[in-house]
Structure 1
Amino acid sequence: MDSTDFLEEARDLLAEFPVVDGHNDLPWALREQVRYDLDRLDIADDQSAHLHTDIPRLRKGGVGAQFWSVYVRSDMAGDDAVSATLEQIDVVGRLLARYPQDLVRALTADDMETARRQGRIASLMGAEGGQSINNSLATLRALYTLGVRYMTLTHNDNLAWADSATDVPSVGGLSAFGREVVREMNRLGMLVDLSHVAATTMRDAFAVTEAPVIFSHSSARAVCDHPRNVPDDVLSLLPANGGLAMVTFVPKFVLPEAVAWSAAAEANMTAHGVHPLATTAEAMKVHEAFEAANPRPRASVATVADHLDHMREVAGVDHIGIGGDFDGTPFTPVGLDDVAGYPNLIAELLARGWSRADVAKLTWGNAVRVLRAAEDVARALSTERPPSQATLPTLDH
């Protein structure tokens, strides 16, 4: 039997234990493509010509909860980054108001369970990159008040207080202020997201955190040697921490053959004056022309399942999840072309012998448990210490 024989069982499982996806960049795609004009890209309709994500395909894919990324590019800085993050948060709120039958705001693990019972998609937010707080713990607290429930410590570039996976090391992991950011996130109940950070930053965060951490969209470095992925020694820290590594679908992070090809494609984008992460029509034309001349190595559902098999072996089934990064990547694996594709991955895992109980942890149970654990830590810490008044200059200079 092959995975297609398990599709019906996969869909049945997702009807009960839907996917919690750790990372989707729809808000940024709406910013880039239509400047947040929701009439021009109405996600109540099929938008497959423009986006990986719309409500019909979320439903088809069995998505029950989504962390919407309120990402801003890491070359944004200062108040510009803060303002852009607020605009991202605003559009998520507008989506929730526009589609209340399908999307509902979720701030807690209990909210996620309530949404599941109601048959609506629990909508949470994650800020992608500490540039969004402009070195201000008060701004961090404000983002939490606005509904942000995780923050990725860095994006693709270093911060003054944390090293990124894809920049030249400058801090050596987390600085004193960076460690204070982690502690304040623990006090708030905001999940510390270690996708995008350097391995040194990962290890420093594990040493400091009092709550479970997540990797919202990262795969296994032992399977695909890319700095955006998680080394085995770090994966092995998850059981004691209680945290979660959510496999991503980005081909250059899951398929070794795609690493060099993707680097060349991104260099070609830059040479054409287009940001490598852009998803505009102009950017896609540049991509398509490059791909026509340089055939792309193609990842598949099986490629992603290989990462999950490895991550389960190293970290344990209680510490893995899914974070596709849809609408944040121009390319996706065959069979995981958009948010409708999750049943294909679940069918592949069932075909490999994963039990229904283990798949239910992967799709739903683990993510809900981790958020609830962060809430429990915050409840205890809030009685022990006041909001931190630390600043970057006082701690790091």
Structure 2
Amino acid sequence: MKHLAILLAATALSACSTGEQAAKAPEAPLHSRMLVLDTHLDTPLHFERQGWSFADRHGLIDDMVQLDIPRMKDGNLDGGFFVIYTEQGALDAKGYADALAFARARSDLIDATITKHGDAIGAARTVADARTLSKAGKLIAYKSMENSYPLGEDVTLLAEFHQKGVRMAGPVHSKTNQFADSATGEARWKGLSPLGKQWVAEMNRLGIVIDASHASDAAFDQLLALSKYPIILSHSSLRSANDHPRNLDEGRLKALAAKGGAMCISTIFMSDMNMTPARGELFGQYERIGTLSPAQQAELNRKWRELDKTEPLWAADFEQYMAMVLRAIEVGGVDHICFGADWDGGGGLAGIEDISALPKVTERLKSAGYSDADIEKMWSGNILRVLAAQRG
């Protein structure tokens, strides 16, 4: 009996000790406990590259890509909106036809890539899809359209892209088109064209989130006024950080917030873009990187990194970025800020070069006094709220 009592006491002591150890086990870092989404991922331009895989880990030294499945896990980026970007061309029948063919192919490429890596990532169309994929331990892939130029003069084509899974779209890119004036283009329409106003109505009917990034101030004002539902800026910076037309002024951020929308903070145009002739030539190659051989891709990366040493694209860094983020939160409020850094589309700064740096943002927000709940709103809650608010 004595031996039994000693054994029972030892067992109890061991269980107590184990319980104490479990209680003292360190909690997972805050960033990893949150659902983290980015509203503008240009990575699909890499999906067709020869010899390149989305499932492989790539480094910034030997590959320009800023996002892949392993680094999504490093930075706890649970997913976001993968972009169908179409370069602006001629506003005529041939230009529209070529652009539509390209956009359809890019949409199909995104689908094929997500399906190929379906063990790690899944397609999402609704808020519920994001929750389901996250619970299953999978990454989340929504689709968006940057530049509605491929629609030509037929806004009913939006229904086709909605059927393909597009849940966010912007009317315009860097040049004025048939729908709207660009922030960096001519003021042809003084905002939206008549066709652009039809585009807004069709977007609302289908339940696709309107993205006002790249739109002129006048076009933004009209998008905000005409939309029945909250709109978003998927990748924009504050004009108070750098006085550039591509950025949003604080008065318009307040107006956006007042109507329930959200501004997703980017890393671009925090300074003027240092688009020298040499950089412009490399950008032209980068946007067609899917047509280059592996050797040509490697040479493009080498030239790009060499140019970074003498002519960096942006004259800003992580500290300036966080100052802008905190100012945007102060102006717009925690319910109306989100993140869209423009990864693989020109984004990234010293100290926040790729998505593996995202936990640093959360750490700074926490140290600035924001609650866990408010930080998660900004990482995903506000995006999902705007998506859920569409009534199409």
Fold shared by both chains (TM-score > 0.5): yes
- Deviation sequence 1:70-101 (CA, Å, 0-9, x none): 11112373111111111111111112211112
1:339 aligned to 2:355? Answer: yes
Shift of 1:231: 1.2
Q: How does 1:53-92 map to 2 (within 5 A)?
A: 53-75=67-89, 77-92=95-110
- Report sequence identity in percent: 28
**Residue in structure 1 matched with residue 45 of structure 2 by the alignment:** 28
| Higher Rg | 2
Q: TM-score, normalised by structure 1?
A: 0.83
Worse overlay, 292-301 or 131-140: 292-301
Shift of 1:287: 3.9
Q: How does 1:250-329 map to 2 (within 5 A)?
A: 250=268, 253-254=269-270, 256=271, 259=272, 262-265=273-276, 267-270=277-280, 272=281, 275=284, 278=287, 280=289, 281=297, 283-294=300-311, 298-329=315-346
1:128 aligned to 2:146? Answer: yes
Letter in 1 for 2:362: I
**Distance in 1, Cα, partners of 2:142 & 2:313:** 34
Distance 1:277 1:231, change over 3 A: farther
- Contact kept, 8 Å, 1:41 with 1:47, in 2: the verdict is no
Q: Which runs of 5+ in 2 are unaligned?
A: 1-25, 290-296
Distance 1:283 1:231, change over 3 A: farther
Shift of 1:61: 0.8
Shift of 1:295: 5.7
Q: In structure 1, the residue corresponding to 2:58 is in which secondary structure?
A: coil
**Residue in structure 1 matched with residue 170 of structure 2 by the alignment:** 152
**Distance in 2, Cα, partners of 1:45 & 1:291:** 24
- Deviation sequence 1:260-315 (CA, Å, 0-9, x none): xx2443x4344x48628637445545544544444665533222222221211221
**Distance in 2, Cα, partners of 1:334 & 1:27:** 23
**Deviating runs (4+, > 3 A) in structure 1?**
267-270, 276-298
- Deviation sequence 1:315-334 (CA, Å, 0-9, x none): 111011000111111x6212
Q: In structure 2, the residue corresponding to 1:327 is in which secondary structure?
A: coil
Structure number with greater CO (CA < 8 Å, separation at least 6) is: 1
Shift of 1:237: 1.2
Q: How well do the aligned residues superpose, as a CA RMSD in angstroms?
A: 2.1
Select which of 126, 130, 136 maps to 1:112. 130
Q: Which runs of 5+ in 1 are unaligned?
A: 1-7, 379-397
* Number of aligned positions between the proteins: 352
Distance 1:295 1:85, change over 3 A: closer
- Deviation sequence 1:91-117 (CA, Å, 0-9, x none): 111122111121111001111111121
Distance 1:366 1:274, change over 3 A: closer
Q: TM-score, normalised by structure 2?
A: 0.84
- Contact kept, 8 Å, 1:301 with 1:333, in 2: the verdict is yes
1:248 aligned to 2:266? Answer: yes
- Contact kept, 8 Å, 1:247 with 1:324, in 2: the verdict is yes
**Distance in 1, Cα, partners of 2:56 & 2:304:** 26
**Distance in 2, Cα, partners of 1:153 & 1:184:** 12
Shift of 1:335: 2.7
